[in-house]
């Protein structure tokens, strides 16, 4: 590896381990199963193919309320919990959605 490649890979590894230190889960890709949690002790190193490593995605949450309360038709959606709380405080019907990840 060239010094520039080492610098780039070190930065990518550091980003993965900072995420792990902040409580995120690292995953690695396998040909037969797909993405698998790496466990608490294992992780990538300088010899690892970093295209096969990632921070486990978190499911997205979304809220919606009928847009009739805003003078429209259909629904108004947000990904901000504080906005959904304001809608609830005004007495709106609010539905919460959470993405299901494999």
Residues 50 and 79 in one domain: no
Q: How far apart are CA 90 and CA 8, in angstroms?
A: 50
Residues 51 and 68 in one domain: no
pLDDT in tens for each of the 102 residues of the chain?
A: 899 999 999 999 999 999 999 999 999 999 998 899 988 777 899 999 999 999 999 889 999 998 876 677 788 899 999 999 999 999 999 999 998 876
Domain of 14 in residue numbering reads as 3-55
**What total number of domains does the chain contain?**
2
Residues 65 and 51 in one domain: no
Q: How far apart are CA 89 and CA 57, in angstroms?
A: 31
Residues 30 and 71 in one domain: no
Residues 92 and 76 in one domain: yes
Residues 49 and 66 in one domain: no
Q: How long is the chain?
A: 102
Q: How far apart are CA 93 and CA 30, in angstroms?
A: 43
Residues 35 and 70 in one domain: no
Residues 31 and 65 in one domain: no
Q: How far apart are CA 46 and CA 56, in angstroms?
A: 20
């Amino acid at each position: 590896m060239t010094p520039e490649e080492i610098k780039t890979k070190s930065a990518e590894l550091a980003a993965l381990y900072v995420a792990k230190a902040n409580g995120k889960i690292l995953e690695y890709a396998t040909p037969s199963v797909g993405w698998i949690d790496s466990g608490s002790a294992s992780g990538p190193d300088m010899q690892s193919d970093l295209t096969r490593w990632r921070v486990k995605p978190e499911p997205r949450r979304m809220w919606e309320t009928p847009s009739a309360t805003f003078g429209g038709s259909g629904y108004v959606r947000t990904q901000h919990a504080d906005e959904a709380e304001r809608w609830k405080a005004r007495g709106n019907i609010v539905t919460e959605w959470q993405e299901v990840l494999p």
